[in-house]
Amino acid sequence: MQQFKDSMLKLIIETSTNLPSDVRKAVMKARLEEELGNRSSLALDTIAENIVMAQEEEQPICQDTGMPTFHIHVPVGANQIIMKQQIKEAMIEATKMGKLRPNSVDSLTGENSGNNLGPGTPVIHFEQWERDDIEVQLILKGGGCENKNIQYALPTELEGLGKAGRDLDGIRKCILHAVYQAQGQGCSAGFIGVGIGGDRTSGYTLAKDQLFRRTDDVNPNPDLAKLEDYIMETANHLGVGTMGFGGKVSLLGCKVGVMNRLPASFYVSVAYNCWAFRRLGVVLDADTGAIKDWQFKEVVDPIDLSKKEAAAGTGDEGTRTVVLQAPITEEQVRDLKVGDVVIINGEMHTGRDAFHKYMIELEHTSPVDLNGGVIYHCGPVMLQDDSGEWHVKAAGPTTSSREEPYQADIIKKFGLRAVIGKGGMGPKTLKGLQEHGAVYLNAIGGAAQYYARCVKKVKGVDLMEFGVPEAMWHLEVEGFAAIVTMDSHGNSLHADIDTHSLNKLSDFAEKVF
């Protein structure tokens, strides 16, 4: 098995940088179905461009390279101890190369291991089979979509849908509700795996197992095949749209599995995955560990980016484009409205969970002047060259809702004028934007290469003790584009889309199955 480690390194790199063929087809189909020129269409264009850039430059599709989860089938007699050790060695090397972001964090101290190893990471599942070769499948599922996983215990009452009972129709309602509740925070349009039955743990495992199915397969259970088709048709009438901007495409794939349960328990577990659906597999020679074949990597037509040019000429629902040079004035912010496309040039600073918690404490001041500044909810992939200079390898937005307890206070304390993230924020932040003259800009989730291209220089870093993703990076950007989704006048596109999609959800309350 002398080639096993090299094969695992290749698998990790390919999974991080090259989207599977069936997922590419789903994205291309969505671009054709979405109305040209609307916000979701332009977001899908950015996603398509990002997919091409990541593959061509062999860089992470999304900066959140997630929780690496390996599913491995081995013949009897395979040395699983050595295989696990070599997977860990490959993980360390991939992290050093910038193909994975260091994502393993001590749950008690908050310390980042820096190499993606630690108790529970990576996740490795072994299972024996009767074949003579080895199959290794890997999924990189980011934290933003992981946070939108949801589990229902039937019977239950669901907002917009009413009672969900212990039957196929109750399961139907749970799945539709799962798509609705994800909104744009899970980087829609997304994919879902559904597990029916089991217990709290095995139900989620079953749901995640469904994500290893091809998006174009047909469920062997006719009732579940019918359910999958129904969900794909109906969920795309909810109006959530790409990034939660509204539109015709909210879901790209749905796969459902079932297992037995206890009489007292009836769980429906839903694993939500963003559009950056990174999972690949390899079949290996059991003697050498060399790759014999790839899974999910069939040749497909290249992604056609010409549709972007056609869409750009139509205008996004009558909105305008505004170029701003940071630092930004309150007058400039007050002039912005929901729907405006903002192009930022100048300096911005990253700030995530650890930054917000640290900065709100009274004794702490900002390492740099943030008055009129821009905070970017982002945990980038960074590499340092031999001269000590840092370079951005991937830099898409993280989910902003986690900062809701802090954001309005941070804006007030430091005089921020713009906050960039994805998925929107809540009423406390909206009020803070209005009171203090700031704006929330929604960047395209998962578009890590698209935004890394906008970073012209890393000017410095502070709070490195929190680890690379949570540090405060100071970036010089040019042409950084995002959409105003919460303005300083009390308007929120996210609240509007949530209300609209909830009303649509109610249309499907009547029993179907």
Is residue 305 within 8 Å of 284, Cβ to Cβ?
no
Q: How far apart are the first and last CA of the chain?
A: 51
pLDDT of residue 317: 53
Q: Enumerate the β-bridge partners of residue 257.
A: 195
Who contacts 391 (Cβ-Cβ below 8 Å, separation ≥6)? 382, 383, 384, 385, 458
pLDDT of residue 300: 83
281 phi/psi in degrees, rounded to 5: -145, 160
**Residue type for position 82:** I
Taking the C-alpha atoms of residue 218 and residue 348, their distance in angstroms, rounded to an integer, is 47
Q: Closest by alpha carbon to 142, among 424, 403, 484, 469?
A: 469
What tens digit of pLDDT does each residue of 260-308 get?
A: 999 999 999 999 999 999 999 999 999 999 999 999 998 888 888 876 5
pLDDT of residue 301: 84
DSSP 243: G
Check the CA dihedral 491-492-495-500 and report its sign.
positive
Q: How many CB atoms lie within 10 A of CB 324?
A: 22
Degrees (nearest 5) of the Cα angle 186, 357, 271?
20
Tell me whether strands 251-258 and 190-196 are parallel, antiparallel or unpaired.
parallel
CATH 3.20.130.10 in the chain is located at: 321-497
Helix (H, G, I), strand (E, B) or coil at 360: helix
Q: Where would I find the beta strands (DSSP E) of 112-153?
A: 123-128, 134-141, 150-153
The radius of gyration of the chain from alpha carbons, rounded to an integer in Å, stands at 23
pLDDT of residue 319: 73
Degrees (nearest 5) of the Cα angle 20, 25, 29?
150
Q: DSSP labels for 278-341?
A: EEEEEEE-TTT--EEEEES----PPP-THHHHHHHTT-STT--EEEEESS--HHHHHT--TT-E
12: tokens are 């990790």
Who contacts 89 (Cβ-Cβ below 8 Å, separation ≥6)? 5
Taking the C-alpha atoms of residue 329 and residue 333, their distance in angstroms, rounded to an integer, is 7
CA 330 to chain centre: 32
Q: DSSP labels for 434-489?
A: HHHT-EEEE--TT-HHHHHTTEEEEEEEE-GGG-TTTSEEEEEEEEEEEEEEE-TT
Is residue 364 within 8 Å of 358, Cβ to Cβ?
yes
Q: Closest by alpha carbon to 93, among 61, 119, 115?
A: 115
Residue tagged 């332009």 (tokens): 42
Taking the C-alpha atoms of residue 150 and residue 267, their distance in angstroms, rounded to an integer, is 10
Helix (H, G, I), strand (E, B) or coil at 384: strand
Is residue 199 within 8 Å of 267, Cβ to Cβ?
yes
CATH class of 321-497: alpha beta
Taking the C-alpha atoms of residue 57 and residue 362, their distance in angstroms, rounded to an integer, is 43
Q: Closest by alpha carbon to 372, among 408, 410, 335, 327?
A: 327
Is residue 377 within 8 Å of 351, Cβ to Cβ?
yes
Taking the C-alpha atoms of residue 179 and residue 240, their distance in angstroms, rounded to an integer, is 9
55: tokens are 């593959």
pLDDT of residue 75: 97
Q: Closest by alpha carbon to 194, among 214, 208, 215, 184?
A: 208
Taking the C-alpha atoms of residue 445 and residue 453, their distance in angstroms, rounded to an integer, is 15
pLDDT of residue 160: 96
- DSSP H stretches of helix in 34-120: 39-57, 80-96
Query: One digit per residue, pLDDT tens: the chain, 513 residues?
Result: 889 999 999 999 999 999 999 999 999 999 999 988 899 999 999 999 999 999 999 999 999 999 999 999 999 999 999 999 999 999 999 999 999 999 999 999 999 999 999 999 999 999 999 999 999 999 999 999 999 999 999 999 999 999 999 999 999 999 999 999 999 999 999 999 999 999 999 999 999 999 999 999 999 999 999 999 999 999 999 999 999 999 999 999 999 999 999 999 999 999 999 999 999 999 999 999 999 999 999 888 888 887 654 444 444 456 799 999 999 999 999 999 999 999 999 999 999 999 999 999 877 889 999 999 999 999 999 999 999 999 999 999 999 999 999 999 999 999 999 999 999 999 999 999 999 999 999 999 999 999 999 999 999 999 999 999 999 999 999 999 999 999 999 999 999 999 999 999 999 999 998
H/E stretch holding 408 reads helix 407-414
Is residue 3 within 8 Å of 134, Cβ to Cβ?
no
